Amino acid sequence: MNMNSTVSNSSVSIRDLSLNFGSVSVLKDLNLDINDGEFLVLLGSSGCGKSTLLNCIAGLLDASEGQIFIKGKNVTWEEPKDRGIGMVFQSYALYPQMTVEKNLSFGLRVAKVPQAEIDKRVARAAEILQIQPLLKRKPAELSGGQRQRVAIGRALVRDVDVFLFDEPLSNLDAKLRSELRVEIKRLHQSLQNTMIYVTHDQIEALTLADRIAIMKSGIIQQLDDPTTIYNRPRNLFVAGFIGSPSMNFLRGELVKSGDGIAFMANGVTFSLAGYDANEPLQPGRKVVLGVRPEHIKVNENAGGEEHDATVDIEEPMGADNLLWLKHAGHTMSVRVNGARRFNVGAKVKLSFDMALASLFDAESELRL
Amino acid sequence: MNMNSTVSNSSVSIRDLSLNFGSVSVLKDLNLDINDGEFLVLLGSSGCGKSTLLNCIAGLLDASEGQIFIKGKNVTWEEPKDRGIGMVFQSYALYPQMTVEKNLSFGLRVAKVPQAEIDKRVARAAEILQIQPLLKRKPAELSGGQRQRVAIGRALVRDVDVFLFDEPLSNLDAKLRSELRVEIKRLHQSLQNTMIYVTHDQIEALTLADRIAIMKSGIIQQLDDPTTIYNRPRNLFVAGFIGSPSMNFLRGELVKSGDGIAFMANGVTFSLAGYDANEPLQPGRKVVLGVRPEHIKVNENAGGEEHDATVDIEEPMGADNLLWLKHAGHTMSVRVNGARRFNVGAKVKLSFDMALASLFDAESELRL
Amino acid sequence: MTGQAQAGRPSKLLRNLNAKIASIPMILTALVIFVGGTLWTVFYSFTNSKLLPRLSFVGFDQYERLWAAPRWVTAIENLALYGILSLIFSLVIGFLLAALMDQKIRFENTFRTIFLYPFALSFIVTGLVWQWVLNPDFGIQSVVRSLGWTSFTFNPLYTPEIVIYGILIAALWQGTGLVMCLMLAGLRGIDEDIWKAARVDGIPMWKTYLLIVIPMMRPVFITTIVIIASGIVKVYDLVVAQTSGGPGIASEVPAKYVYDYMFQAQNLGQGFAASTMMLVTVAIIIVPWAYLEFGGGRKRG
Amino acid sequence: MANIGTLNTTAAGIDAVSGRLGDGPTGPKPRPALSPRNIMLYGTLTIAALYYLLPLYVMVVTSLKGMPEIRLGNIFSPPMEITFQPWVKAWAEACTGLNCDGLSRGFWNSVRITVPSVIISIAIASVNGYALANWRFKGSELFFSILIIGAFIPYQVMIYPIVIILREIGIYGTLTGLVIVHSIFGMPILTLLFRNYFVSLPEELFKAARVDGAGFWQIFLKIMLPMSLPIFVVAMILQVTGIWNDFLFGVVFTRPDTYPMTVQLNNIVNSVQGVKEYNVNMAATILTGLVPLIVYFVSGRLFVRGIAAGAVKG
Amino acid sequence: TDLEVTHWWTSGGESAAVAELAKAFDATGNHWVDGAIAGSGGTARPIMISRITGGDPMGATQFNHGRQAEELVQAGLMRDLTDVATAEKWKDIIRPSSLLDSCTIDGKIYCAPVNIHSWQWLWLSNAAFKKAGVEVPKNWDEFVAAAPALEKAGIIPLAVGGQPWQAAGAFDVLMVAIAGKDTFNKVFKDKDAEAAAGPEIAKVFKAADDARRMSKGSNVQDWNQATNLVITGKAGGQIMGDWAQGEFALAGQKAGTDYTCLPGLGVNEIISTGGDAFYFPLLKDEEKSKAQAVLAKTLLDPKTQVAFNLKKGSLPVRGDVDLAAANDCMKKGLDILAKGNVIQGTDQLLSADSQKQKEDLFSEFFANPSMTPEDAQKRFAEIISSAD
Ligand SMILES: Nc1ncnc2c1ncn2[C@@H]1O[C@H](COP(=O)(O)OP(=O)(O)OP(=O)(O)O)[C@@H](O)[C@H]1O
Ligand SMILES: Nc1ncnc2c1ncn2[C@@H]1O[C@H](COP(=O)(O)OP(=O)(O)OP(=O)(O)O)[C@@H](O)[C@H]1O
Ligand SMILES: [Mg+2]
Ligand SMILES: [Mg+2]
C-alpha cells in the first residue's frame, strides 16, 4: 500500500501500531486516520488502551511496531516537543511551584522564545480561556475547573497542530464537567485544530466528537460519527457500551411470520417491520435484538403491535423517568418523560420502534 | 418541646445537632426526622458536611451539641456498634487481607455470634447480593462493583435497623454506577430498612430517594420528595443545584401586562400564565425566573407566546439533544429529543412552559 | 511497510542518553564497587593473602579455618541472637510507640523528638553512653545498690552470658525511634474508612490493629525490616565502642571478626573468607526479597 | 484515624447542654481527662520517654560534674557543683598524643568533610532516583537492585577494594576520596528514597513537561526539584547524621590533621591518662553529637513527613 | 621539613615520652607532626597500613618491630635505612643485636628500634597488701597464696584489662616464668605443637587458671586503667610490661616504697626483648626523605634515648648510654639484660595472624570461667601447630 498518499490528507495517521508492555500486548495493529480540524474522541472502558494510544501519539511511549504521522511527517521517533502536539491531562499536571503565568510560558521559555512573544501568546491564551485574573496565582489556589483551563492554556500557547486530551474532565464534578464540556466544544469551534480526546464518559464523547473511535482491549471496534454510533452500532459491544441506561438486549431467533421475518424470544414474537437490515434475514438464525430505552413507548399506541409488561422499579431522574419493566422473562429499561409517573407493579403496554432497533448475530455479534 | 413524642414515630431523629472542628462550625443546629423504612438522601456539594452528619449518626464523631435518637432511643453517647447501624463507605473499606466471607463475618465473630448463625447470615447476605461465587476471594481480586456489594453485605449481615451509605458509588464508573443504583433501590424495596444515603450525584438522589435533604454549609436547605424538589425548589440554591444541565435563570422584574403580571428581562417580556405562585405577585419586584431546559419547546407551537433564538452549540447526547441558544442576551439550554438535530446558527422559536417554571425573589432567593 | 518510513529509527543506545549519562555514577558504583569489590573479595578469599593481597590459592582452607574458629562461631551465634531479638523488639516497640503516638495525643511533637533523637547520635556515642550507664561501678547497678538493695546485680557488659543484651539495649535505644517514625508514617497512610468500618463492626481497637491494620502495613514492615536488617548485618561500631567484643569473645560479631582479621591479624584471606560468609548469609535473606520487590515485573508506582 | 476521644472536651460544656435538654445524654460524650485509657496512654509514653531521655540526662549531668564527685558514685544524681571545666577541656584541651586541642580541630574537619559529602551524595542520589523513576532504560532496574543489595554488604568487605581503587586513581587520603566514599555508601538508601519519592509524584507532571519540550535536566531542575523539599530534608538529615557520625571511613580515609570529630572523640575517650575522665568524655560525646542533634530538633517534623512520602511506599 | 609521625602512644606516660622524641626532632630544624591514634596497636595498625598501601604514606610510623611490617617491606613500600645505619654504626651500638636483626630483611635495614620492652613483670601495690595485712609477695606463688586475703579486704588480687592482648601477654609471661626459656622457645620459635600440648605447658595453664580466678571483678578495658587499679590500691597486682612503670611514675609513685616490681614474676628472671621501632615509608618527596634520615638518626641519639626511655619506662636500645636517673625497676631490667637472660618477644616470633588467634583464645579463657585449662591447652596446641 502506498503510505504517503494515504497520509497526506490527514492530520494524524497511525499505521499498524502495536505496543507491548513486556509480554502484555496493549495495542494491536492499530490503524487510524484523523482529519485536519477533526475532533476525534477515543472512547472505551478503563484499561482498554486509550491513554496508551494517546501517549504513543504524543511520543511519551515508544511504539513497539508501526508508525505515526503528524501533518504527513513521520514522527515515530521524534521527541514529544517536536511533534507539534499539546497535551492536557486528567490530573491537570500543573507545575505546582509555578504561577499560572509561569505554567503557561514554561514550554516557551524552554524553547527560548523571545519574552515579548511569550507575553503575547500567554495573554492571548489567557483571554481565550478567561483566566487573566488568575495569572499570578499558584495552582493550589485554583479550583478544579480553573486548573483544567490553565492546563488547556498550556497547550494553547504552544500553537500546536494537534491537541491531545486525556480524560481532562474526569476529576471534576458533574456540574463543572458539563460546563467545561461546552467550553471545549466552543474552543474547538473557534480554533479548528485537530483534537484527540480520550474519555470513558459517553456523554462527553457523544456531545464533543466529530467522530468517535470506540476501543476495546487495544482494538478499535467502530469509528464513526456519534449519530451512527448511537443508532447503528456495528456490533454488540458498541451497542451495549453506548447509551445510558444500556440498550435492552433480547436473545432469541428469527422466525417466519406471515410473509415477512419476525423476532422471537421466550415465546413472544416481535414484528421487525421497519428494520433496515444490512443483509437478508434468514429464519432460524440466532440473533440478539437491541432496543434503546427511549425507543420503547409505554401506554402510547404507536400503531404497531403491543406487549404487556409490569413496572418493577421506577427511577425518576427529573427530566426523565426511567422504568424497569418485567416483560416476557426479560427486564427492560424504558425511558419516559419525567412528568409521567407509574406505580411499582402497574401493568403497562409497550410498543417498540423497530426502525431504530438493532439486530445482531448471536455468534459473531455483528450487526445484521 | 416534647422530645419523646416527636421521636417515637421516626427511625432516626436528630435534635439541634451542632458540630465544630476546632473553631470551624461544620453542622449548625440541625434537626432531621427520618421515618421508619424511609430512604433519605443527603445531597450537597463537596465539603457541605454530609459525611460529617453521617458520621455523627454513626457515632464516629462526637456531636458538639444536640442529640441523636435511633428507634426512639437516645444514642448520643452510644458506641457505633450499639446503635444498630451499618455503614458503607465510598472507598469500600474492606479488610484487604481477609476473604469476602471473613469480611462479612468478622464483626459477628468478634461479637461471638455462634458459627451456625454466622454461616446462615453470611449465606443470606451473599444470596441477596449475589456474591456467593466470590466468598473465597480477597478484595483485591474483585471488581469495584463487587467490592461495593461486599461492603453492603457487611452491613447486611449485622441485621441493623439503619443503613448509612457515604457516597457508595462515587468510585465506580458510570455504567456500574447505574447498575448498582438499581440494585440498592431493589435492596431497599425488599428489606424496607431505613437508609440514609450521602451523595453529590443528583441522579442518584432523584432516583433513589423517598426524600432528599439538600445541604449547603451544614444547613439543610430543603427536605422534600424528589418531585417536589425538582419541580418546586424552595430557593435559588436548590433550583440551581438540582437538574443537569442547570435550570436556566433569567434576572429581571415583574411588570404589569394587561390584567395580569408578566416577567421582563433585557426588555423581553414573558407571560406568567399558568405559574402557581405561593404569594400574590407584585409588579416592580426584582425576581429571577427559572426554567428547566426540558420545559422549553423549540419550533413546536405549544399555543403560548413564542421567542426568537439562535442555536449556539448543539450537544447531541444520544437519547437527548442539548441545545445552547442565544436569546435576548441570555444563553439558554434547551433539551430536545435526540433525533432532532439543528445547525449551529439556526434561528428557532422557543415557547416556555410556565406551569413548570419557578420564580424567586432576587433578594431573599426564596421561591415566590 | 516501506523501508524509507522506518529509516528514522535512532539507535537504541542513544535513546534516553541523558538518563544514561546521569546514571553513570550509579552504574559505576553498582558494577565497580559493589559487584567488582565483592567479586574481588570472594576471589581473594581463596588465597592465603596476609598483609597484602596475593595470588596464592589455598582452596577452601580459609573457610575451614573460619568455621573451626570458636570466635567466628560465637560471632555468628551472637549475630543471630542479636539480629532476631533486635528485629522483633524494634518492630514491636516501634509499632507500639507509633500506635500510641497515633491516638491524637497532645505533645506529639515532643514525644516524637524524644524517641527520635538517639537516632541522630552515632553508634560510637551510643556505645559510650550505655557503657557508662551500665558500668557496674558507677551506673545502674551501683545506684540501685546504694539505695539499699545491695545484692542487686545488673552487670551485662561484664557478664559473658548476657553481654549481648547489654548491646541490644543500646541498639534499641538508638534505633527504635526511626522504626517508630516509619510505622507512624505507615499508620497515617491507612484509609480512615477502615477504622470507621471496624468501629461500626464493633471490633475492639487492639483487634483492629492486630488483624486489620498490621496486615495492611505490609509494605511498611518490609521497608522497615530491610532497614533494620541491613543495620544488623553491619553492626560493628556499637560493639567496638561498648564492649570491644568482650568480655573475652562473648560479644563478638562477624563484622568485627572481618575487620580484626583483615587488619589486626594481617590475614586478609581469613577476613575475606569471613566477609564472603557474611555476604552469603545476606544474599540468602535479601535476594528473594529484592526479587519480589524490584524484579518480577512490578508496575510503576 | 480512629477518633478515640478528644482530650479537650471538658465536663463544663456537658453540664450546660444537659440543662437545656432534660432527657438523656446530649452533646459530646464525657471523657474525663484521667480516664484509665489516658492514664495508660500517657503513662506508657512517659515511661518510654524516660528510657530515651535517661542517657542524655546522664551525659549532661556527668559532663557537669567534677571527677571527685563522679567517683562518689551515683551517675543519676544532679551535680552538686556545676563545672564547665570538662566542656572546656573536651573542646579545647584534651590530648591525643602530643595534640592537645581537644575536639575543636575535629569539628572543623567534620564540617569540611560533611558539607561537600552531603551535597554531592544527595546530588548524585537524587539524579539517580529521578532517572530510575522517570527515565527507565534497559538494565536500570538491575543496577538499582544491585545497589539495594549493596546496602547490606558490610563496609569491611568493601574497604580493601576501595583503598586500592582510590590509590590507583591517586586520590587516597584526600578530601575528594572521602567524599566519594561517602557518596558511594550513601547511594543505596538515598537512591531508594528518591526513587520512591519521584515515583509517587504524578507521572503526568513529567509527561506534561516533556510535551512542553523540557529535557532530562530541565525537568529535573525546574519541575522535580522544587517539588521535592520533604525528601531532600530526609536525605539531608540522614546524610548529615550519617556522615558526621561516621567513624570507619573517617579513620581509614583521612590523615590525622584532617580527622573528623568522631575519630577525635574516639582518640580522646581512649587516650586514658590515668583514670578515665568520664566527665570530659561525656562532654566530648555531647559536643560530637550536637550537630546532628540540632539538625533533628530543628527539622524533625519535616523528617517524619518526608519519611511518609519517600520511604514507606515500597 | 614537616614530617608526620604516626604512633599509638596516647597514655599519660607514653605521650610524655613521645614529646621527648618530638622535641629532639624539632631541635634539628624539622617539625614533628604528631599523628597519634588512640586505642592500642590493634586500632592503629590497620590505619597505618591502609595509608601506606593506599598511597598516602606518613613520614614515619611506629610498629612493634618484628613481623608486623614484614610484608610492607617485601612489597617495596618501605625505605631502606641501611645507609643511615651504616653511617651511624647501628650494628655496633644496638644491643642486644637481635633487635637490629628484626629490622633486617634480606640484609637491608628497614627500621630504627627505639626501645626495649619486656613483658615479664608483675607490678604490686604495697598499699593493697598492707591493707590486706599480708606481706608483699616476692614471687608468683606467694602472690597466689595471698589472694584470698586480698579478696577478703575487698581488693581484686590481679588486675587484667579487657583488651585481648593483655590476656595473651600475661599468659606468655606465665609461660616464661613457669615453664622456662627452653619450653618458651620450643613452643614459639620452633612451633612445636607437641611441647605446647605437653605437661610443662599444662602447668602454665594451671597458673593461668589461678590468674583467671584472681582477676575476677576487674571491670576495666584498657591496660592503664588496670594499672590504675594497682596504683590506687584497688587491685593487688598486675602482669604487665615495663611500660606500666610510666604510669606509676606519672602518678608520682616510687618503686620499692609505693609499688614493687617482680621481673619474671620473681620466678625466672628472664625478659623478652620486644620493643618499638620506627619504619619509614618510601616517599617521593626529596626533602622529606632527607628529613626521614634525620629522624632516624635522632631517634637513636644517646640523649634522646635516655630522655625517651626514662619517661616511657622502657630500656634504651644502646648499651652505651648513661642511665643514672633510672629507677629501681629499670635497673633490675638492665641487670638482667646485661646478664643476657633474654628471649625474643612473641611479636618477633609469631605472625600477627597467630598472635591474633592466641589473643582470641586467652581473651576467651580469661573471661569465661567455664572453659577448662585442658580445653584451652588443646586449642593452644592447635594454634601452635598451624602457626607461622
Ligand atoms: N507501564 C505499564 N506497564 C505495564 N502495563 C501497563 C502500563 N501502562 C498501562 N498498562 C496496561 O495497559 C493497559 C491499557 O492502559 P491505559 O492506561 O492505556 O488504559 P486506559 O484506556 O487509558 O484506561 P483508563 O480509562 O483507566 O485511563 C492496561 O491494562 C494497563 O494495565
Ligand atoms: N477532621 C476534620 N478537621 C477539620 N475540619 C474537617 C474535618 N473533617 C471535615 N472537616 C471540614 O468539614 C467540612 C465538611 O466535611 P465533610 O467531610 O462532612 O464534607 P462532605 O459534604 O462529606 O464532602 P464530600 O462530598 O467531599 O465528601 C469540610 O469543610 C471539611 O473541610
Ligand atoms: Mg487512561
Ligand atoms: Mg464526604
Q: At what angle do helices D278-310 and D229-245 cross, to 10 degrees?
A: 150
Angle made by CA atoms C55, C58, C59, in degrees to the nearest 5: 115
What pLDDT score does C295 carry?
A: 55
Q: Subunits with at least 3 CB pairs below 8 A relative to chain D?
A: A, B, C, E
Q: Which whole number is the average pLDDT over D242-260?
A: 81
A286 touches chain B (CB under 8 A): no
Confidence of residue A225 (pLDDT cuts 50, 70, 90): very high
Give yes or no for residue E386 having a pLDDT over 80.
yes
CA separation for the pair D111, D243 (Å, rounded): 10
| Cβ atoms of residues E346 and E278 within 8 Å | no
The bound ligand whose nearest atom lies closest to the alpha carbon of A23 is 1
- pTM reported for the whole predicted model: 0.85
Determine which residue's CA is closest to atom 2 belonging to ligand 2: B21
CA separation for the pair D139, B169 (Å, rounded): 42
Q: Does residue E164 or residue A361 have the better pLDDT?
A: A361
Q: What is the pLDDT of residues E164-218, one digit of tens each?
A: 888 888 888 888 888 888 888 888 888 888 888 888 888 888 888 888 888 887 7
What pLDDT score does B130 carry?
A: 87
Q: What percent of chain B has pLDDT over 90?
A: 39
CA separation for the pair A150, A104 (Å, rounded): 7
Q: Does residue E39 or residue C283 have the better pLDDT?
A: C283
Candidate of A18, A19, A20, A21 to mutate for ligand 1, largest count of ligand atoms within 8 Å of Cβ: A21
> Is the pair A, E in contact (3+ CB pairs within 8 Å)?
no
Centre of ligand 3 from the C-alpha of residue A188, in Å: 22
B4-8, C16-20, C40-44, C261-265, range with the lowest pLDDT: B4-8
E352 vs C71, C247, C266: nearest CB: C266
Q: Which whole number is the average pLDDT over B195-213?
A: 92
| Cβ atoms of residues E13 and E327 within 8 Å | no
Q: What is the pLDDT of residues A303-347, one digit of tens each?
A: 678 888 999 888 888 888 999 999 888 889 999 988 888 888 889
**Cell numbers found for residue B209:** 430517594
**Cell numbers found for residue C181:** 517514625
Q: Which of B178, B199, B246, B325 to mutate to test the interface with A (most CBs of A within 10 A)?
A: B178
> Is the pair C, A in contact (3+ CB pairs within 8 Å)?
yes
What pLDDT score does B52 carry?
A: 92
What pLDDT score does C8 carry?
A: 56
Identify the H or E element spanning A248.
strand A248-257
Centre of ligand 1 from the C-alpha of residue A217, in Å: 10
**Cell numbers found for residue B341:** 438535530
Q: What is the pLDDT of residues B252-278, one digit of tens each?
A: 999 988 878 899 988 888 888 888 888
What pLDDT score does C23 carry?
A: 86
**Cell numbers found for residue D238:** 540522614
Confidence of residue A35 (pLDDT cuts 50, 70, 90): very high
D41 vs C103, C279, C295: nearest CB: C103
Q: Of C164, C166, C6, which is closest to residue C74 (Cα–Cα)?
A: C164
What pLDDT score does C294 carry?
A: 58
A40-49, B119-128, E93-102, range with the lowest pLDDT: E93-102
Mean pLDDT, chain C, whole residue set: 83
CA-based torsion, D16, D21, D26, D30: positive or negative: positive
B361 touches chain A (CB under 8 A): no
Domain residue extents for chain D = 35-81, 115-259+284-310
DSSP secondary-structure letter at A49?
S
Phi, psi of C72 (to 5 degrees): -65, -45
Chain D partners within 8 Å of C115 (Cβ): 48-49, 52
- Assess whether the C-beta atom of A47 lies below 6 angstroms from ligand 1: yes
| Cβ atoms of residues E205 and E373 within 8 Å | yes
- Name the H helices within D26-103: 36-63, 67-71, 85-88
Q: What percent of chain D has pLDDT over 70?
A: 86
CA separation for the pair A6, C290 (Å, rounded): 50
C219 touches chain B (CB under 8 A): no
Give yes or no for residue C11 having a pLDDT over 70.
no
What pLDDT score does D273 carry?
A: 59
Determine which residue's CA is closest to atom 3 belonging to ligand 2: B21
Atom of ligand 2 nearest to the CA of B52: 18
In D, residues 23-42, which contact B (CB 8 Å cutoff)?
Answer: 23-30
Give yes or no for residue A74 having a pLDDT over 80.
yes
Right CATH for D115-259+284-310 from 3.90.1300.10, 2.40.30.20, 1.10.3720.10, 3.40.50.620 = 1.10.3720.10
Confidence of residue C148 (pLDDT cuts 50, 70, 90): confident
Chain B partners within 8 Å of D28 (Cβ): 62-64
Q: Which whole number is the average pLDDT over A184-191?
A: 90
- Assess whether the C-beta atom of B26 lies below 6 angstroms from ligand 2: yes
Confidence of residue D314 (pLDDT cuts 50, 70, 90): very low
Q: Which residues contact B358 (CB under 8 A, 6 or more apart)?
A: B232, B233, B239, B247, B289, B290, B291, B367
Give yes or no for residue B7 having a pLDDT over 60.
no
What pLDDT score does D312 carry?
A: 54
- Assess whether the C-beta atom of A23 lies below 6 angstroms from ligand 1: no
What is the dotted CATH code of the domain comprising C64-294? Answer: 1.10.3720.10
| Cβ atoms of residues B68 and B76 within 8 Å | yes
Mean pLDDT, chain E, whole residue set: 84
Q: Which whole number is the average pLDDT over D158-181?
A: 84
What pLDDT score does D2 carry?
A: 39
Determine which residue's CA is closest to atom 20 belonging to ligand 2: B47
Confidence of residue D1 (pLDDT cuts 50, 70, 90): very low
What pLDDT score does A165 carry?
A: 93
Give yes or no for residue B210 having a pLDDT over 90.
yes
> What are A194's strand-pairing partners?
A162
What pLDDT score does B100 carry?
A: 93
Q: What is the pLDDT of residues B63-114, one digit of tens each?
A: 888 999 998 888 888 888 888 899 999 888 899 889 999 999 998 998 889 9
Mean pLDDT, chain D, whole residue set: 80
B23-32, C6-15, C56-65, range with the lowest pLDDT: C6-15
The bound ligand whose nearest atom lies closest to the alpha carbon of D3 is 2
**The amino acid at C130:** W
Q: Subunits with at least 3 CB pairs below 8 A relative to chain E?
A: C, D
**Cell numbers found for residue A56:** 504513543
Q: List C-alpha distances in Å: B310 to B265, B298, E84, E135.
A: 17, 11, 113, 126
Q: What is the pLDDT of residues D92-130, one digit of tens each?
A: 877 766 677 778 888 888 898 999 999 999 999 999 999
| Cβ atoms of residues B99 and B138 within 8 Å | yes
| CATH numbers and ranges of domains, chain B | 8-239 (3.40.50.300), 246-359 (2.40.50.140)
DSSP sequence for A97-122: TS-HHHHHHHHHHHTT--HHHHHHHH
What pLDDT score does B319 carry?
A: 85
What pLDDT score does B8 carry?
A: 52
Give yes or no for residue A289 having a pLDDT over 90.
yes
What per-residue string of b and e applies to B249-269 under the rule 16 or more CB within 10 Å gives b?
bbebebeebeeebbbbbeeee
Other Cβ atoms closer than 10 A to B210 = 16
* B-to-D residue pairs, Cβ atoms closer than 8 angstroms: 37
Q: What is the pLDDT of residues B216-260, one digit of tens each?
A: 988 999 999 999 999 999 999 999 999 888 899 999 999 988 878
Q: Which whole number is the average pLDDT over C7-26?
A: 75
D97 vs E10, E51, E228: nearest CB: E10
Q: Which whole number is the average pLDDT over E56-82?
A: 83
What pLDDT score does C300 carry?
A: 37
C155 touches chain E (CB under 8 A): yes
A281-290, D41-50, E89-98, range with the lowest pLDDT: E89-98
* A-to-B residue pairs, Cβ atoms closer than 8 angstroms: 98
CA separation for the pair E59, A299 (Å, rounded): 110
Phi, psi of B255 (to 5 degrees): -130, 160
Q: Subunits with at least 3 CB pairs below 8 A relative to chain B?
A: A, C, D
Give yes or no for residue A11 having a pLDDT over 70.
yes
CA separation for the pair D29, D9 (Å, rounded): 9
Mean pLDDT, chain A, whole residue set: 88
